[in-house]
Amino acid sequence: MVQPSVSESADSDFNDSIKVEAFVTGIYDRTQWSSFTLELILHSEVKGEDIFVVSSGNYGRFVNSYQYSEDPYNGYQYDFWRWGYAIIANCNQLISKLPDANDLSEGFRNHYLAEARAIRANTYFQLVRLFGQPYSVAPGSQGVPLTLQPLGADENPPGRSSVAGVYQAILADLEFAETNFERNKETTIYRLTKPAILGLLARVHLNMETGLRQVIMHIRRKKHFL
């Protein structure tokens, strides 16, 4: 097999702070795709009848969502699944590699791990609500496949985890993110902040109908404003 004349291993890339920052920027870039932003938001809004779909001049968009008539061949669910797991795959690469980057400080590693885990948590939060039953209704029912490590080219993806299992993974990611996110790295409004992470954590508990009061009191004690 012909080897490139200039190549680097993925492991060595994660020992370079500039490349780590570029990798995290790439994760954020994937979260901007309309298939997992605008379309996901509107899909949920029309199902809740907060938005009325007018078919005329709308090219039929979101009609299936509004009518609850989706099947595997119409609507947006394929894009939600595909792009959601693309975001998760990128997060998993960083989450699996960065802890072993001994050339970087522990604080640096943990901060960017916090960002990646918060993004992964938000993505799973969207997916489990789209493709699973509400936690408060049927926590033991099927949720979505839970992949917390990179999958090899020959590995089969896991089966669907329970709704409760997905939510436990979401909480673990957000609690790690809240503990390790460094506020002095909040340099732009276009990336996660600690109050945003806490707000997402509160929203998860609100959907679970458990622990919301404790989260609100925690936010108040730390004087984080949402």
What is the radius of gyration, based on Cα positions, of the chain? 19
pLDDT at 48: 81
**Average pLDDT along the chain, 226 residues, taken 10 residues at a time:** 61 85 94 84 82 74 82 82 95 96 93 97 96 94 96 88 98 96 82 90 89 73 58
By 3-state DSSP, what share of the chain in percent is helix, strand and coil, each rounded to 5?
A: 60, 5, 40
The domain total for the chain is: 1
Q: For residues 43 and 65, is the Cβ–Cβ distance under 8 A?
A: yes
pLDDT at 176: 97
Residue 3 located in a structural domain: no
pLDDT at 84: 95
Q: Is the pTM of this model over 0.85?
A: yes
Residue 2 located in a structural domain: no
Residue 166 located in a structural domain: yes
Please enumerate in sequence order all residues whose Cβ is within 8 A of that of 175, keeping only pairs 6 or more positions apart, or say none.
201
pLDDT at 147: 96
pLDDT at 61: 82
State the chain's maximal CA–CA distance in angstroms: 60
Neighbours of 69 (CB within 10 A): 10
CATH of the domain at 145: 1.25.40.390
Long-range contacts for 89-92 (Cβ within 8 Å, ≥24 apart)?
89/147, 89/150, 89/151, 90/23, 90/26, 90/27, 90/30, 91/27, 91/116, 91/117, 91/119, 91/120, 91/123, 92/120, 92/147, 92/148, 92/149, 92/150
Question: Which two three-digit tokens encode residue 161?
Answer: 């985890």
Range of the domain at 115: 10-221
Residue 209 located in a structural domain: yes
pLDDT at 222: 64
Residue 105 located in a structural domain: yes
